[in-house]
């Protein structure tokens, strides 16, 4: 079988679809909330209350302008946990 221009178009189409799927399913790049000493209480709160909104209330005790300013280019910062996922921890 001869490979004509239409076949190449088809191959290109498949490639494009694949690229889109891969880019959507790719790992989210926003940093996760570390599972360390500072963040242990947050994981504890989430486990106890099951509420991300409750958990987020503690974030700004440390992540505020005075102690640990967020990067200057940080996006609007209400609802931390929409963007910064908690790591999965065994219950
Ligand atoms: C007790 C203070 C404290 C609290 C409360 C706290 N953090 Fe942090 N956070 C830190 C410190 C210190 C670091 C930097 C060192 C580290 O990784 O622990 C940090 C780092 C981070 C980082 C960057 C991690 C990285 O990979 O660079 C993210 C994201 C973060 N915190 C999110 C949160 C969120 C969301 C909450 C609320 C659920 C929160 N933090 C509550 C002290 C705190
Ligand atoms: C709209 C999404 C969004 C929300 C809401 C958000 N962040 Fe971020 N945050 C980002 C992005 C994007 C970055 C850039 C660096 C990265 O984490 O990949 C960032 C960076 C950070 C960093 C610095 C990480 C480093 O590189 O050391 C910290 C700490 C942090 N955020 C904490 C918070 C806290 C605390 C809140 C809630 C008060 C919050 N963020 C809410 C998207 C968000």
Domain-located, residue 88: no
What the block records as the tokens of 57 is 């209330």
Flag whether 68 is in a domain. Answer: yes
Tell me the CA distances in angstroms from 68 to 25, 62, 71, one per residue in order.
Answer: 32, 6, 9
The residue whose C-alpha atom lies closest to atom 13 belonging to ligand 1 is 38
Does residue 89 sit within a domain? no
Please give the model's pTM, rounded to 2 decimal places: 0.82
Residue 50 backbone zone (phi > 0: left; psi -120 to 50: alpha; other: beta): left
In a domain, 74, yes or no: yes
Domain CATH number, residue 59: 1.10.1130.20
Q: Residue 91: inside a domain, yes or no?
A: no
Q: Which domain holds residue 49?
A: 5-83
CA angle 56, 62, 64 (to 5 degrees): 90
Number of structural domains (the chain) is 1
pLDDT in tens, the chain (91 residues): 788 888 889 889 988 888 877 776 656 689 999 999 999 999 999 999 999 999 999 999 999 999 999 998 999 988 999 999 999 876 6
Report which bound ligand comes closest to the CA of 39: 1
């Amino acid at each position: 079988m001869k490979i004509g221009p239409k076949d190449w178009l088809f191959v290109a189409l498949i490639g494009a679809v694949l690229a889109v799927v891969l880019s959507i399913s790719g790992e989210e790049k926003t940093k996760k909330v570390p599972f360390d000493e500072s963040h242990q209480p947050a994981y504890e709160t989430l486990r106890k209350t099951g509420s991300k909104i409750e958990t987020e209330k503690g974030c700004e005790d440390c992540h505020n302008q005075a102690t640990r300013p967020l990067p200057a280019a940080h996006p609007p910062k209400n609802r931390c946990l929409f963007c910064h996922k908690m790591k999965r921890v065994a219950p």
